[in-house]
Structure 1
């Protein structure tokens, strides 16, 4: 049995209520792609998908955690996320005095990607030698390292460094937990680094994670400058441009919409690492960036997901 909590989670609950529905792997992945279906719930539930039978794409489970007993409309909204469970009955189960963050992370194994080792705070095992370890809790923001898109970005960045890529000024758009910005700064420690997110909670989480992992914050070289920003439309982002590395682990739709804006802050010869897109969406995203003067330099497929590295033509 393997567990994968979705990367957007809610806050700490003193006591929880849980709903469980059967689902398929495809449905589990679709939930991760479009969390907006639950935007009307406040606070949003914690969603956790579990592979109940190894390598059986039809035998997955969706658990939804709430800070109060869900009503009928909420139960219907969760059931709608997994169409194969349309005929399933669900009863809210109380989980008294449970720390759902610990519960959701208890089955998570650390992630190894290149020279990086990402683990949760609850991990009590040994950290391998010669790696840069990051403790990233599955909490309030996207990007714990346990999804293929984040793992793929880490792998791609590590490969760039091994091939001798030079980066002096980098930005992580939609940073989530800060993990990718931290990893990039570890690879290029003398670079200027910027990390932004449209969600102020994500920036708060990034500050906490930076402190926990010994990452210096600020606007000088070797530090990560933070900003709550909607894409590239931000004074700090514009002032620090152009960037020779842009990382954007978002979703395919926003990546296409932002192609012109990202081109506008990219240095000639600069590189992009784009993720959050399914393999079926990769060509459409690459096409949008070719129109802005980029060429596809590398593609990495992990599961149903694609990670693209593009380079701005000089």
Structure 2
């Protein structure tokens, strides 16, 4: 966005409502790239009170307002709309989005310095989801460290619903020679991933240590099947699609391979996902809970030995 008048839309709601809206945003295939959204807590002493904020380079019309309201499955909270004075709000967001530490990883915007004691990853703040600040993304980063410490050898890794590419880049840092397959239903993500790959010195392409981006609806692309079976498949999306794709994951992950899942709420959603994964041949290995969100590590069962 240029240094011109910008309009801001704000919706206040409890944290789970805002986090669910941010996750729903990731599934919108035709999202307006000029409409930048983010979610945050209002204050440290009010961790349950959150706000979803959206910035638009001109006065938002009914279509923009409706796009934001559709992110709230149970009905949108009231939207406050205000015109902001001229400023480069994307640049300002880089300065006000703090770095995070998640396990072995330090994730920050380009305006913050690296932490030499951690694995450093740079993701611009304008890419609201997939920057590491959501519990599901940070939990996946932490779980990746546990998976690596277990001794898993990963030569082929898939990141389904990659968004910014952050989790795939993190996996590459742990398994530097792995062949990376990144997919997302949103074609805008292809450009985002390419830019972020360059920023994090990740080569693009089909070979070892490189990332290949595929625009696909879930697993529905023949190139994904050609690059399978995967030693590690990551899917930080939503509970419904995870259940729907369980059988596809069972076919795509090699026997003994690992599956890292997030985007599901602890409780009923987690139970439904676990049932689907068991039917697809996976067994649970470890679990993290961050806020109301569960992060699951599962392993595909090996074929039974003949008698």
Q: Same fold by TM-score, threshold 0.5 exceeded?
A: yes
Paired with 2:29 and 2:226, the residues of 1 have a C-alpha distance of: 33
Paired with 1:274 and 1:241, the residues of 2 have a C-alpha distance of: 18
Paired with 1:76 and 1:182, the residues of 2 have a C-alpha distance of: 34
Match of 1:295 in 2: 283
Greater strand share, 1 or 2? Answer: 2
Match of 1:255 in 2: 242
Q: Could you tell me whether the CA contact under 8 Å between 1:171 and 1:247 is conserved in 2?
A: yes
Cα gap change, 1:54 to 1:84, in 2 (>3 Å): farther
Deviation at 1:114, TM superposition (A): 2.0
What TM-score, normalized to structure 2?
0.87
Residues 75-102 of structure 1: per-residue CA shift (max 9 Å, x gap): 577578496955x8x4x32224322222
Match of 1:17 in 2: 7
Paired with 2:259 and 2:26, the residues of 1 have a C-alpha distance of: 26
Deviation at 1:46, TM superposition (A): 2.6
Gaps of 5+ in 1: 1-10
Cα gap change, 1:37 to 1:148, in 2 (>3 Å): closer
Paired with 2:209 and 2:90, the residues of 1 have a C-alpha distance of: 32
Deviation at 1:52, TM superposition (A): 2.4
Cα RMSD between the aligned structures? 2.7
SS of the equivalent of 1:106 reads: helix
Question: 1:178-193 maps to which residues of 2 (within 5 A)?
Answer: 178-193=165-180
Pair 1:47-2:37 in alignment: yes
Q: Could you tell me whether the CA contact under 8 Å between 2:19 and 2:39 is conserved in 1?
A: no
Q: Which of 29, 45, 52 is the aligned partner of 1:62?
A: 52
Deviation at 1:141, TM superposition (A): 6.9
Paired with 1:35 and 1:211, the residues of 2 have a C-alpha distance of: 25
Paired with 2:214 and 2:77, the residues of 1 have a C-alpha distance of: 41
Q: Could you tell me whether the CA contact under 8 Å between 2:29 and 2:185 is conserved in 1?
A: no
Paired with 1:278 and 1:23, the residues of 2 have a C-alpha distance of: 17
Q: Could you tell me whether the CA contact under 8 Å between 1:23 and 1:85 is conserved in 2?
A: yes
Paired with 2:296 and 2:60, the residues of 1 have a C-alpha distance of: 40
Cα gap change, 1:12 to 1:257, in 2 (>3 Å): farther
SS of the equivalent of 2:172 reads: helix
Question: 1:218-297 maps to which residues of 2 (within 5 A)?
Answer: 218-280=205-267, 281-297=269-285
Match of 2:300 in 1: 312
What TM-score, normalized to structure 1?
0.85
What is the aligned residue count? 299
